[in-house]
A and B are shown apart, each in its own frame.
Chain A
Amino acid sequence: MDTQLDRVIGVLRQSEFRIAADRHVPSLWIKKLTSKAKALCRRTARSPVPLLFVVDFEEQSAGSDVLCDPTPLLAIQSTLSSDQKLVAIIDREGRLLRTTIQTWDEAANWEMPWAAQVSEDCQAFVLAVYGRSLSLFDSGRLRDQIDDVNRPRYPHVSVSDRHVPAREFPAAVRRHFDDKVQYERGLAFWGDRARREFVGGPERVFQKDLWFYLQEYLLDQRRVDMEYSPAGLSDRTDIYIETVNDEQYLLEIKWLGKTVTGGSYDEEQAKRGARQTIEYLERIPSITRAALVLYDGRKDDMEIAWDSSHQHPKLDLSLRLYIVSKTASEIGRRSS
């Protein structure tokens, strides 16, 4: 693809443009809000209190700009009990419209599901500020996440050997697996490595990391969405890719093996995944190609016995990725 076009599309596929296009608002509004939220993150990095801002693009307020100065919100926060959470509804300039208090009692890792839930309930654009991280949700979907606002983040413009056209997405999935998953680099999914047990809900871990990777490295993608429901489908697909040439790709992610929380999936889960993906392909004929990505954490590296009911001309079943849990030195010791 033309390098200039790739670079311009790299810029346009950033979250502010995509959110603005979905909401039919100017991208500049989103950019200004996220820019202010990043500055807020830097100032409140040591605060143990997460802040959630729901943006109402319709109304305008004469109130104070709480993204620039969150003091009024922090004052309210300090009066709340541990299960009460504060939501600030702001206008497009970051000025406070009103606040609401919600009860949310899931103590562990609550800020992300809470923000997603609020965003889905209000069908709104939500900025979640917590420590040095900033997450952008839109209508319940995570659209962007900046883990550390102090780390420079470059727009997707670098073209490297990792960048591939979207039609070669299986190669990108394998590269992601080889570079990141196989060595647990940048993501953590082993709950008990020695016993080959994943953490609880490992699918989400694989899905989110792969989503970020594909967003970065698929050259001609128009959108790479997680939990997206394409037209004609009520289910939320794990990863949906749309290219500038109107090709559509689907990725269904499943894991095999055991979790520390007692969950267990075997070959049947892979077969269920294949049937589910075939169902997607039959409901949406415009899908160019789909793939079932299997992160295999079982003890033995065994092929899946697919039969004809799991085959479809557009379905790629070759992405069973067996995760090695032993280090090279352990393997050396065992074999000697």
Chain B
Amino acid sequence: MRFRRYSEVLYALEGAARHQWGPLAKIQLQKVLFLTEMMGPFQQVIISHLDYRVWHRGPYSRDLQNAVDHLIACGLVKITNYSIGAASDTVPTRTNQVEYARYQLTDLGVKLIKELIDYEGNRDAQELVLLVCDLVDIYGLSNVVDLVYQEPTFAELKRAGRKGHSIVGPGVENQTLRLLAFIDDAAKHKMRFERFDWTSLALAFFETLWANFSRRQQEATWTPN
């Protein structure tokens, strides 16, 4: 089994444990790793290429779900809650049933993380996933879906009604990288922040996503006097 390919899942679950989020829901895991994948290339961190597609509940990767299932089969991750029900935003029918699951690292998974770092020199990927977990923790895990909806590549495809379209792949420009470069330039040249490091840039990127979300919220709730 190619653990390196799946290591990001373990790191995300490690981040969840560090922040005491409890078992991580399927949708939260998908969103945390989606943001990591979009930001990774800016730091030349190669995250396993997972085919994220525009889905009705945000970006979704079957590859990632397969990776989680493999890790469960290997005893590195365990399911703590599992249920099947209608999606919260739909009228329940036989065809729109959704699987709800929550995942947690096993002791073996925790042990493997240490070996992955030592053996494969995978520290950069781990640091990136843990940084994204740190940022998600600041804005609240319950808001991760709202943040992901503001990610510019996904937002553009969603606006264009491209359901099922691949978000990461040939023919689609990673808009997050453009935005990160734009923020970096604005910070260093316009704001004159001489020591604007990567973690500050990542924070500014999240803050921009949050600001866009807040603005849309304000616009949605605005009523004329």
A interface residues with partner B (beta carbon < 8 Å)? 4-5, 7-14, 16-17, 20-21, 24, 26-28, 31-32, 35, 152, 154-155, 157-158, 222, 244
Q: Choose one: A11, A17, A27; the contact of B211 (CB below 8 Å).
A: A11
| Nearest neighbor of B219 in chain A, beta-carbon distance | A158
A12-B187, A17-B191 known; A28+B211 contact, CB < 8 A: no
Q: Complex formed: what's the CA distance from A262 to B78 in Å?
A: 73
| Nearest neighbor of A220 in chain B, beta-carbon distance | B190
B-side interface residues, number (CB < 8 Å): 28
Contact B212 A28 (CB under 8 A): no
Q: Choose one: A11, A21, A27, A35; the contact of B208 (CB below 8 Å).
A: A11
The answer to whether the Cβ of B17 comes within 8 Å of any Cβ in the partner chain is no
The answer to whether the Cβ of B197 comes within 8 Å of any Cβ in the partner chain is yes
A17-B191, A26-B197, A26-B199 known; A11+B214 contact, CB < 8 A: no
Q: Choose one: B135, B194, B204; the contact of A17 (CB below 8 Å).
A: B204
Contact B204 A27 (CB under 8 A): yes
Contact A12 B218 (CB under 8 A): no
The answer to whether the Cβ of B193 comes within 8 Å of any Cβ in the partner chain is yes
Q: Which residues of B contact A21 (CB under 8 A)?
A: 191-196
Q: Mark B13-48, 1 if CB is under 8 A from A, else 0.
A: 000000000000000000000000000000000000
* 16 A-B interface contacts by CB (under 8 A): A8-B186, A8-B204, A11-B204, A11-B208, A11-B211, A12-B191, A17-B204, A20-B193, A21-B195, A27-B200, A28-B134, A31-B138, A31-B203, A154-B215, A157-B215, A222-B192
Contact A26 B200 (CB under 8 A): yes
Contact B208 A7 (CB under 8 A): yes
Q: Which residues of B contact A13 (CB under 8 A)?
A: 191
A9, A12, A152, A157 — most chain B CB neighbours (10 Å):
A12
Contact A8 B182 (CB under 8 A): yes
A21-B191, A27-B203 known; A12+B186 contact, CB < 8 A: yes
Q: Complex formed: what's the CA distance from A158 to B211 in Å?
A: 9
Q: Which residues of B contact A4 (CB under 8 A)?
A: 182
The answer to whether the Cβ of B117 comes within 8 Å of any Cβ in the partner chain is no
The answer to whether the Cβ of B127 comes within 8 Å of any Cβ in the partner chain is no
Shortest Cβ distance from residue A201 to the other chain B in the assembled complex, whole angstroms: 33
Q: Choose one: A31, A158, A222; the contact of B190 (CB below 8 Å).
A: A222
The answer to whether the Cβ of B110 comes within 8 Å of any Cβ in the partner chain is no
Q: Complex formed: what's the CA distance from A155 to B193 in Å?
A: 19
